[in-house]
Amino acid sequence: MSAIGPVWGAATDIGTRRTSNEDSYVAATPVFAVADGMGGHDAGEVASAAAAGALARLAGLTDVTAQDVQLRLEAARARLQALPPTLGRSPGTTVAGVVLTEHEGRPHWLVLNLGDSRTYRLQGHVLEQLSVDHSEVQELVDAGHISPEEALHHARRHVLTRSLGAASSLAVDYLLVPVEHGDRMLVCSDGLTGELDDSLIAGLLRSRPHPQDAAESLVAAAVAAGGRDNVTAVVVDAPRD
């Protein structure tokens, strides 16, 4: 791994409508991830904190593999399984992000996803979504039944097909992407992508040189645009070689 680590920034906001912030994040080289919790009472906060906390245990490690990540997420699931039963919905969470690692002697982003939090890569002027949502509307888009624009406003847009919970099968998507010079990664909860379209997101990412400024600007813009959900953004710039 490069001697000079990545430069990163992170921001989160409760938004304008919610009474608690059930998003959690971890930004601790080499792991950068967001978890968006759900469930009654404080279940969402407990679940997202369990996921972020489990991934935080990868901090300082090199050559992290998908199996290493999977083991940490299994530990998070075990913590949720050990919680006393409560009324209401059981705790669950999304988890999405990147781990900076080595693969075949080259730096790579290990992209992980479970649910509808997202990972994007900005290269020059091009913003590319690397994660694929695990949601009912994504399945409708994939099947050609609705357009991506219709998905943004669909009544069932918040219904997940996969997540991390006590009964989860932990069918996590993993993707290894070579690190390219100038890569800027964005990991965010749906509170960001529900308020800002891709061109606005790309514009803010391009116009803020420091990742912390970029993360704060993105979250502030999403809150200003409505802030109907908790909003979290983690921005990571690839290490300079």
Under the rule (CB under 5 A), what is the footprint of Mn ion? 36, 189-191, 229
Shortest separation between residue 189's beta carbon and Mn ion, angstroms: 5
Residue 108, burial from CB neighbour count under 10 angstroms (0-12, 13-18, 19+): middle
Strands 23-28 and 31-38: what pairing? antiparallel
Nearer to Mn ion, 135 or 217 (CB): 135
Shortest separation between residue 190's beta carbon and Mn ion, angstroms: 4
Q: 62 vs 1, 81, 241, CA distance in Å?
A: 7, 29, 17
Nearer to Mn ion, 113 or 189 (CB): 189
Shortest separation between residue 119's beta carbon and Mn ion, angstroms: 15
CA distance 57 to 14: 25
Shortest separation between residue 117's beta carbon and Mn ion, angstroms: 8
Nearer to Mn ion, 101 or 119 (CB): 119
Strands 95-103 and 106-114: what pairing? antiparallel
Shortest separation between residue 199's beta carbon and Mn ion, angstroms: 21
Short-list 222, 114, 203, CA closest to 232: 222
CA distance 141 to 192: 20
Nearer to Mn ion, 133 or 229 (CB): 229
Nearer to Mn ion, 6 or 97 (CB): 97
Torsion of Cα atoms, 226 then 48 then 71 then 169, to 10°: -80
